[in-house]
Amino acid sequence: MGFMSYWDKLLLYRKNVMLTRTGFFVGCLTGIAYLTALLFILTVIYEHGFVITDDELKVIHLIYKYTWGVFLVFTTVQIITRKDDDDKSKLTVWTWILDILLYFTLIPVIFKEPDTDTGVWWVWYVFHHPHYRITILFLLSLTNLSGSLVRLLGKRTNPSLILASSFLVFIFLGAGLLMLPRSTYHGISFIDALFTATSATCVTGLVTLDVPSTFTLHGQIIIILLIQIGGLGVMTLTSFFAMFFMGNTSLYNQLVVGDMISSNSLNSLLSTLLYILGFTLAIEGVGMAIIWFSIHDTMGMTIHEELYFAGFHAVSAFCNAGFSTLEGNLGNPLLMDGHNLLFITVSFLIILGGIGFPILVNLKETLFYYLSFLKWKVFGHGSFFRKQVHLYNLNTRIVLIMSGILLAIGTVAIAAYEWNGAFAGMSCTDKWVQSFFNATCPRTAGFTSVRLTTLSTQSLLLMIVLMIIGGGTQSTAGGVKINVFSVILLNLWAVIRGAEHAAIFRRELSHDSVRRSNASFLIYLIIVFLAIFVMTLVEPEASLMALTFECVSALSTVGSSLDLTPTLSTAGKGIIILLMFVGRVGVFTLCLGLIKQVKKHNYKYPSDNIIIN
Residue 319 neighbours by CB under 8 Å, 6+ apart: 203, 227, 228, 230, 231, 232, 353, 476
In a domain, 364, yes or no: no
Nearest to 195 by CA among 574, 466, 539: 574
Q: Is 572 exposed, middle or buried (0-12, 13-18, 19+ CB in 10 A)?
A: buried
In a domain, 596, yes or no: no
Over residues 352-401, the pLDDT tens digits come to: 888 877 787 777 777 777 777 677 666 665 455 566 656 677 778 888 88
The pTM is what? 0.79
Structurally, how many domains does the chain consist of?
A: 1
- Side-chain half-sphere exposure of 460, counting CA atoms within 13 A: 20
Look at residue 551 in the predicted model and tell me its pLDDT: 94
Look at residue 328 in the predicted model and tell me its pLDDT: 84
Q: DSSP code of 504?
A: E
Give the residues of the chain that fall short of pLDDT 70: 1-26, 82-94, 146-163, 233-275, 373, 376-391, 588-601, 613
Over residues 113-159, the pLDDT tens digits come to: 777 777 777 888 888 888 888 888 888 887 777 666 555 555 555 55
On whether the CB atoms of residues 550 and 528 are closer than 8 A, the answer is no
In a domain, 89, yes or no: yes
In a domain, 322, yes or no: no
Look at residue 34 in the predicted model and tell me its pLDDT: 82
Look at residue 547 in the predicted model and tell me its pLDDT: 94
In a domain, 135, yes or no: yes
In angstroms, the CA 5 to CA 13 distance is 12
Q: Domain range holding 129?
A: 1-153
In a domain, 144, yes or no: yes
Look at residue 151 in the predicted model and tell me its pLDDT: 58
Nearest to 323 by CA among 346, 292, 307: 346
On whether the CB atoms of residues 301 and 309 are closer than 8 A, the answer is yes
Nearest to 343 by CA among 359, 329, 361, 357: 329
In a domain, 173, yes or no: no
Look at residue 162 in the predicted model and tell me its pLDDT: 66
In a domain, 249, yes or no: no
Nearest to 567 by CA among 543, 583, 532: 543
